[in-house]
């Protein structure tokens, strides 16, 4: 991880070639699901298909739940951060103190803003596939419904995979920016508390060195 990535994390977009490969892999997986012999040990296949469908659904729900929590954290941290702004321009503030504090405050605000944007991106409604009531009715009109149900469930899982991955990536970015906002907030508090004592200590050290010289 380089310094720029450490200060400002970014999610690299897929190239056109990677998108083509992803689409080709998706079509290949769907084709494999369609030609597989699901009539062999159908009950075991159906159980695994349901487990995979539940796991994919849980991934989306977990990401949405975390995004809601992170949004609440952003909402709670914003007024606390804003309450520190008046002290930056207080009468006893020096120019160097004000510039340093304002820079950290601005960076923390940017982190909070980006965390909120990524959280909203996670919660954004996206299309998903599932086996609905009408699908079940159609399947059970056939002679062998269970193998077809396995196929439908696995196709739904495969279609939902990209959306779930996108949600997970967005929540990771939310976490990264919120963590940096919290660290910037802590740093701003440290600067607020320690700036004057640190300045006095440095002045004392300089005066002591001059006395010995």
Q: How far apart are CA 102 and CA 87, in angstroms?
A: 10
73, 143 contact by CB (below 8 A): no
Helix, strand and coil content of the chain, in percent to the nearest 5, comes to 80, 0, 20
The pair of structure tokens assigned to 123 is: 């919660």
Number of H helices, E strands in the chain: 7, 0
Tell me what pLDDT residue 124 has.
85
Taking Cα atoms as reference points, which of 82, 80, 89, 73 lies closest to residue 106? 82
Long-range contacts of 2-11 (CB under 8 A, 24+ apart): 7/180, 9/173, 9/176, 9/177, 9/180, 11/169, 11/173
Query: How far apart, in Å, are the Cα atoms of 38 and each of 29, 186, 203, 211?
Result: 15, 57, 79, 89
Query: How far apart, in Å, are the Cα atoms of 29 and each of 73, 147, 154?
Result: 39, 17, 10
Tell me what pLDDT residue 82 has.
83
Q: How far apart are CA 112 and CA 70, in angstroms?
A: 10
Angle between helices 95-123 and 42-83 (to 10 degrees): 150
Q: What is the pLDDT of residues 84-106, one digit of tens each?
A: 777 776 655 577 778 888 899 99
Tell me what pLDDT residue 189 has.
86
Task: Please state, rounded to an integer, the average pLDDT across all residues of the chain.
Answer: 87
Q: How far apart are CA 81 and CA 102, in angstroms?
A: 11
Tell me what pLDDT residue 176 has.
95
Tell me what pLDDT residue 93 has.
54
Q: What is the pLDDT of residues 62-73, one digit of tens each?
A: 999 999 999 999
Question: To the nearest whole percent, how much of the chain has pLDDT over 70?
Answer: 94
Go through the chain and tell me how many residues it has.
213
Q: pTM (2 decimals)? A: 0.84
Query: How far apart, in Å, are the Cα atoms of 88 and each of 83, 91, 190, 207?
Result: 10, 9, 13, 28
Q: How far apart are CA 98 and CA 96, in angstroms?
A: 5
Q: Mean pLDDT, to the nearest integer, of 144-170?
A: 91
Q: How far apart are CA 164 and CA 55, in angstroms?
A: 10
């Amino acid at each position: 991880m380089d310094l720029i990535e450490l200060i400002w994390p970014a999610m690299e977009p897929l190239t056109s070639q990677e998108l083509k490969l992803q689409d080709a892999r998706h079509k290949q997986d769907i084709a494999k699901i369609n030609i597989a012999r699901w009539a062999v040990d159908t009950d075991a296949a159906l159980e695994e298909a349901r487990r995979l469908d539940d796991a994919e659904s849980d991934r989306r729900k977990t990401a949405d739940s975390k995004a809601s929590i992170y949004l609440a954290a952003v909402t709670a941290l914003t007024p606390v951060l804003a309450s520190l702004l008046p002290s930056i321009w207080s009468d006893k503030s020096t120019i160097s103190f004000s510039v340093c504090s304002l820079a950290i405050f601005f960076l923390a605000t940017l982190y909070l803003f980006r965390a909120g944007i990524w959280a909203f991106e996670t919660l954004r409604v996206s299309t998903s596939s599932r086996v609905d009531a009408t699908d079940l009715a159609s399947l059970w009109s056939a002679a062998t419904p269970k193998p077809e149900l396995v196929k439908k469930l696995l196709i739904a899982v495969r279609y939902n995979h990209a959306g779930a991955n996108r949600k997970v990536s967005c929540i990771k970015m939310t976490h990264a920016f919120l963590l940096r906002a919290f660290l910037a907030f802590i740093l701003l508090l440290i600067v607020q508390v320690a700036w004057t004592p640190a300045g006095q200590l440095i002045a004392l050290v300089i005066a002591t060195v001059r006395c010995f010289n």
